[in-house]
Structure 1
C-alpha cells in the first residue's frame, strides 16, 4: 500500500432479523438478501462517498421472533455498536416497533419487511419501506374476481390480529364493496392460530365462494391442511403470503394446487439492476448461493441495501440527516422495480396475482389486467 494512503472505514449496516422462532422461515430471506447485496456491492468497488470508496459491513442479530428483543437489539445497534444505518426486520409489527428506535436516534432505517399502513402514518422522518401498502394487497385480486366466470357471489375475509393483517383487512373491505361483492364473513383470528376448523365450518355452512386470508405462512399451511381434512372447497381461496414461497409449495405438495396468492415481484430479466444486471441474474445468484429460490421478501431486502447505497452516494456523505434527505428523493431502477418513496416513506408497487397450477407458479393477473387463464373454480378435494 502506498505510503500515506488511507483505508476508508466500513459503512456498517445494522439489522435484527427473525432467524429462529415461528417466522424464521421468512426472516432468513432478509439475512440472505442483505448478505448477498453487500457482497455484490463490495465486489463492484463498494460505496463511493466523495472521492473515497467504502466497503459495506453488516451487523446482524437474531430477534428470535420476539418484538421486545428486537427493539432492544435495534437500540444496541445504534447506541452501543454505533452502526451507520439500519435495515429492517421481517413483519409489520416488528417494523412498527423498531422504527421508533430509528426515529428516536435519527438514523435512517430502510426496511422491506413491514407493509402495514400504520408504520407510515405517524409522520416519522427516518423510516422508509420497500413493500407496497398492506391496505392494497388484495386490490388486484378483487379486480380479478370481478371478471371470473361464474362470478363469486359471497366473500369471506379472514385476518390475523397483527398490524399487517389488520391493515390488509381495513383496505380490503371498501374495495369489496366498490366491486359489488358481498362480504358474508369478516373474521379476525389470533396470530399463530393453529385451529381453523370453526372458521372452515362457517365457510361451508354459508356456501362462501371466495375466501381471502391475510395471515402468516404457518397459519395458512394449517388452514389449507384443515380445509382438506374437512373437505371444504370454496370456488377459490387467496392468501397474502405463502404462495410465492418454494417451501410453502413443497410443504403442501399437490394440496397447494389452485391456491391464489400475490407478489409485487417476479424474477424478470426486464427488471434491470446496477449491481446484479437484472432480476433473473439475481435470482440465479441467490439460488446458487443459498440453495433455495428468492421471493419478493428477498428482492425487497436487496432493494433496501441498494436504496441506502444510492442515497449515501447522492448525499456524498454518511451523515444520517443528509442520507435521510437523499433517501426521500431516491429514484432508481432495481431488480425489485422502481424505488421511489412517497412523502410517508413508502413505495407503491402493484401486486401481481399468482396461482399454483400443477407444479408451476403462474402469474394470472397484473396492473394491466389478465396475464394468463386462472384455474377456477377450484374442484372439491376428492375430485382432484
Structure 2
C-alpha cells in the first residue's frame, strides 16, 4: 500500500485523536483542488446529506493534514464545495450547471439513484461538448444497478455496493433463517425502490423458494409522515420479516411506527443502522433490525477501532454519529488517483482509478475497470444492546450492531452488462 491511503489513514489513523484535535494545519500551499458535492442539504433528507458532509470533511482534513495532494507544481489541499439539490432531480441539474461554471473538476453525489441517473446523462453530454472542461462523477450511495450495467459511463465511479450486491448479502443471511416464512416488501416509489423489490423477489425465489411474499408495496418518497397505516397492513399480512431499501426519514419514521404499532417482524434493511433508526426502534429492534454495509463500528480490530474513534473525536455530538467508510475511502482513492495522473484531468484520473486497490488494515476494496464498480466485502449486522461484542453504540442510543454474517468480496461480486465507451488516454 503506497501513496495517500498510507499517508492519510495510515499516518493519521492511530494518532487522529491528537492530530485532528490539535488542529494540525495542511502544509499544502497550492491552489485547492475542489470537490463539488451535490446532495440534499435541506428538505426531508437533509439529515442524510449532513451525514455525508461530515464524512467527506473528515477525510479531506486527514489528507490536508498530511500535506495535501502532490502534483508536479507542488502540494495542493482538497476543498469541499457543497451544492444543495433539495433532494430533487431538477434542482440537482441546476446545481450541476453551477458546479461546472465554477470549473470544479469532480462531482460527488449519492443520496438518490434518480438524481445519479440524471447526473450521469448530464455529465456525458457536458464532457462530449466541452472536452477541455470534463468532470468526473464519484458516487458514494446511489445503488441502482443500472448505473454500472446498461447505463454505465466512463465518467462515473460507484464506491458503494449496488442494491443487487446488498440484496445478495441480505438474502444470504435470510437463507439460513428458517423462522422466516412470510416476507413483506416495502420500498420508496422510484427507480431504486423498484430495483430493491425486484432483486428481493428474484434472490428469495432462488435461495428460499419456500418463502411466501405476502406484500409488495411502494410509497411516495419523502412525503409520508405517518407510516402507521402501512405497518397495520404488514401486521395483517402475517409477515414475519420485512425487506426494505428505505433510507433517511422514510426508514426512521417507518421503524418508529413499527415499534408503536407492535410489529415484531424482522426488518432486513439497507440502512437501518443510523440516522435515528436504532433509537426509534429501541428494545423492539434488538435482534430484529438488520442492516448491510461495507463496514460497521463493531467489526473489531485495532485499526477499525482507531478509525471509528477518530471520527467520534472529530464529531463528538451523538447526533453526528453516522460513519461511512466508503465515503472516506472514496476521497482517499481519488486523491491517490490525482497524484498518479499528475493532474486533475478527468480522463487521466479515471484511468488511474481503474483497478485501484484500497487497503487500510481492516478493509480491502478494488475498482473494477469493466464498469467502475468498487468490489468489497459486506457485513450483515443485527441490532443489539451495547455491551460485550457491541462496544460502540449508535448515536448515543445505547444500541449498536453486531456482525451476523460477513461476505467476502468474491461472494458479493456480481456480473456486469456494462459496455463502456472509453476516450483515448492522454
In the alignment, what sits opposite 2:238?
207
| Structure 1: distance between partners of 2:204 and 2:315 | 40
The more displaced of 107-116 and 6-15 is 6-15
| Structure 1: distance between partners of 2:32 and 2:400 | 43
Secondary structure, counterpart of 1:57 in structure 2: strand
Whether 1:39 aligns to 2:61 is: yes
Q: Could you tell me the TM-score, scaled by structure 2's length?
A: 0.76
In the alignment, what sits opposite 1:340?
367
Aligned CA distance change for structure 1 residues 231 and 39 (closer, same or farther; 3 Å) = closer
The runs of 5 or more residues in structure 2 that have no matched partner are 1-27, 128-133, 386-398, 409-426
Whether 1:318 aligns to 2:344 is: yes
Within-5 A mapping of 1:171-250? 171-179=199-207, 180=209, 181-192=211-222, 193-234=224-265, 236-241=266-271, 243-245=272-274, 247-250=276-279
In the alignment, what sits opposite 1:168?
196
| Structure 2: distance between partners of 1:263 and 1:246 | 14
Give deviations 1:139-174, integer Å, cap 9, x for gaps: 22222222225x322211111112222222222111
Secondary structure, counterpart of 1:216 in structure 2: coil
Query: Paired residue for 2:154, among 97, 120, 125?
Result: 125
Whether 1:94 aligns to 2:115 is: yes
Whether 1:256 aligns to 2:285 is: yes
Give deviations 1:8-60, integer Å, cap 9, x for gaps: 32222111232221111111122112211111111111111236222212222
Per the TM alignment, residue 271 of structure 1 is displaced from its structure 2 partner at its CA by: 8.5
CA contact (8 A) 2:107 2:135 kept: yes
Give deviations 1:201-237, integer Å, cap 9, x for gaps: 3333332222112212322233233333433333x22
Per the TM alignment, residue 268 of structure 1 is displaced from its structure 2 partner at its CA by: 6.7
The more displaced of 128-137 and 250-259 is 250-259
| Structure 2: distance between partners of 1:41 and 1:256 | 38
Per the TM alignment, residue 347 of structure 1 is displaced from its structure 2 partner at its CA by: 1.4
Aligned CA distance change for structure 1 residues 270 and 51 (closer, same or farther; 3 Å) = farther
Whether 1:366 aligns to 2:406 is: yes
CA contact (8 A) 2:35 2:79 kept: yes
| Structure 2: distance between partners of 1:81 and 1:271 | 43
Give deviations 1:106-135, integer Å, cap 9, x for gaps: 311112121111222313110101010112
Secondary structure, counterpart of 1:347 in structure 2: strand
Whether 1:137 aligns to 2:146 is: no
Aligned CA distance change for structure 1 residues 213 and 100 (closer, same or farther; 3 Å) = same
| Structure 2: distance between partners of 1:324 and 1:111 | 13
In the alignment, what sits opposite 1:285?
310
In the alignment, what sits opposite 2:34?
12
Per the TM alignment, residue 300 of structure 1 is displaced from its structure 2 partner at its CA by: 1.9
| Structure 1: distance between partners of 2:296 and 2:183 | 27
Secondary structure, counterpart of 1:231 in structure 2: coil
Q: What number of residue pairs does the alignment pair up?
A: 353
| Structure 2: distance between partners of 1:211 and 1:38 | 37
In the alignment, what sits opposite 1:22?
44
| Structure 2: distance between partners of 1:89 and 1:238 | 21
CA contact (8 A) 2:365 2:377 kept: no
Query: What is the Cα-based RMSD across aligned positions, in Å?
Result: 2.6
Per the TM alignment, residue 364 of structure 1 is displaced from its structure 2 partner at its CA by: 1.2
Aligned CA distance change for structure 1 residues 230 and 27 (closer, same or farther; 3 Å) = same
Q: Could you tell me the TM-score, scaled by structure 1's length?
A: 0.83
